Structure 1
Amino acid sequence: MASDPTLPIVKSLLLLDSEGKRIAVKYYSSDWPSVPSQSNFEKSLWAKTNRMNARQEAEIIMFDNYIVVYKYLGDLMFYVTGSQDENELILYSVLQAFFESISTLLRQQVEKKTVLENLDLVLLAMDEIVDGGIILETDPQMIASRATMRGAEGEGPTATGTVGLAEQTFSKAFAQAREHLTKSLLR
């Protein structure tokens, strides 16, 4: 990939548990060419950040010549890394999109067990945020909508929050039944 100096690039998105174990990770750089090198990076990053208090606001650090923006939510640690030349505010907006979309998708029940049960949605959300290191979307509602494929039929989140997949199917069936009943009554 040719590098454009004006294009912000994300090196990795990491979701680790409170013990530093991998939950969901995406690497977009050849800086970590193998799983052992990725694992070593994750362990040393976790060791550096696990005692810091990033619960209310995100923290930004320089680590191994990378800018790392991270935040804790529940028993999970969210990380976004970029090169040392990258804009911290852009990386912060990616981090915000990352954990807010996960929070929306999991209905504010962001904990390791729930994430593991919904790992497919988490990975889809990560794919909606960044592709090949290029930032695609930072609006958490849009990311959650795309991850659950609500945007395809023009459906979106309700005013009170998001609609789950089961409710979506039921509401679609109910709408079709109502439309069929209306047509049969008007004949």
Structure 2
Amino acid sequence: MANLSLYSVTCLIILDSEGQRVISKYWSPPHQPASVGQGSAAPSSLPANPYATLKDQRAFEKSVAEKTRKGLADILLIPPTSICLTKTSTDLTFHLVGPTTENELMLHACLSAFHDAVGLLLKGLVEKRTVLENLDLVMLALDETVDDGIILETDPVAIASRVSKPKADSAGEIVINEQTLLSAYSVFKERLGKQIAQF
């Protein structure tokens, strides 16, 4: 049976070069009952998120980091029901996980869009330090790309434009430099001289 659901992303994880979590966000379809993770059958065709607890998430991230470190592939099948796409940056690895029934090209487009949008927002410095310094922008880009497991946007320029801060109006901006300080000093000196001459 074909997957006719919009919920196509299970999680997006950014790991550093040692396999430690920098950013992670896990999603479950909102219409799944709470008891799905405890062994009861799901009423829909969507699988429940197999990484519901922190312990499961850490174990999953460790196994993904080991497979990525071995350089097996950019697309990993994770038994029994997940597929993981990987994109590497300077000292970070971006991972997008979805169900095996999902279209790999769509997941790849989503991961590439998020990675490229982060690159645009951080001016090409996609590394751990700059990601942590600009965590607000990266998380907003993630929310603009995927919301609750639904892919919203695959255009990195559109994502970056929605997230980036608008430039302040240059008319209301006060620029203080050496020249303005010297001119202010000379105006002050002239006025003070005129006031002293009046006495």
**Fold match by TM threshold 0.5:** yes
For residues 100 and 141 of structure 1, the distance between their equivalents in structure 2, rounded to whole angstroms, comes to 8
Matched, 1:73 2:93: no
- Give deviations 1:118-153, integer Å, cap 9, x for gaps: 111111110000001001111111111111254xxx
SS at match of 1:120: helix
- Give deviations 1:154-175, integer Å, cap 9, x for gaps: xxxxxxxxxxxxxx12xx1338
2:118 aligned partner: 102
Runs of 4+ in 1 over 3 A off after TM superposition: none
Find the partner of 1:125 among 119, 138, 141: 141
Aligned ranges 1:1-150 → 2 under 5 Å: 5-7=4-6, 9-29=8-28, 30-52=49-71, 59-64=74-79, 65-150=81-166
Q: Match of 1:10, as an amino acid? A: V
Q: Match of 1:116, as an amino acid? A: L
Q: Match of 1:90, as an amino acid? A: M
Shift of 1:66: 0.8
Shift of 1:40: 1.0
**What is the TM-score with the length of structure 1 in the denominator?**
0.75
Unaligned runs of 5+ in 2: 29-48, 175-199
Q: Match of 1:113, as an amino acid? A: R
Instruction: Confirm or deny: 8 A CA contact 1:8 1:86 kept in the other structure.
Output: no
How many pairs were matched up? 152
Shift of 1:53: 7.2
For residues 145 and 77 of structure 2, the distance between their equivalents in structure 1, rounded to whole angstroms, comes to 22
SS at match of 1:24: strand
For residues 165 and 25 of structure 2, the distance between their equivalents in structure 1, rounded to whole angstroms, comes to 21
Shift of 1:7: 2.8
Q: Match of 1:136, as an amino acid? A: L
**What is the TM-score with the length of structure 2 in the denominator?**
0.71
Q: Match of 2:136, as an amino acid? A: D
Unaligned runs of 5+ in 1: 151-167, 178-187
CA RMSD of aligned residues (A): 2.2
SS at match of 2:10: strand
SS at match of 1:116: helix
Task: Determine which structure has greater relative contact order: mean sequence separation of CA pairs < 8 Å that are 6+ residues apart, divided by chain length.
Answer: 2
Matched, 1:174 2:190: no
Shift of 1:63: 1.3
For residues 150 and 7 of structure 2, the distance between their equivalents in structure 1, rounded to whole angstroms, comes to 7
SS at match of 1:70: strand
SS at match of 2:98: strand
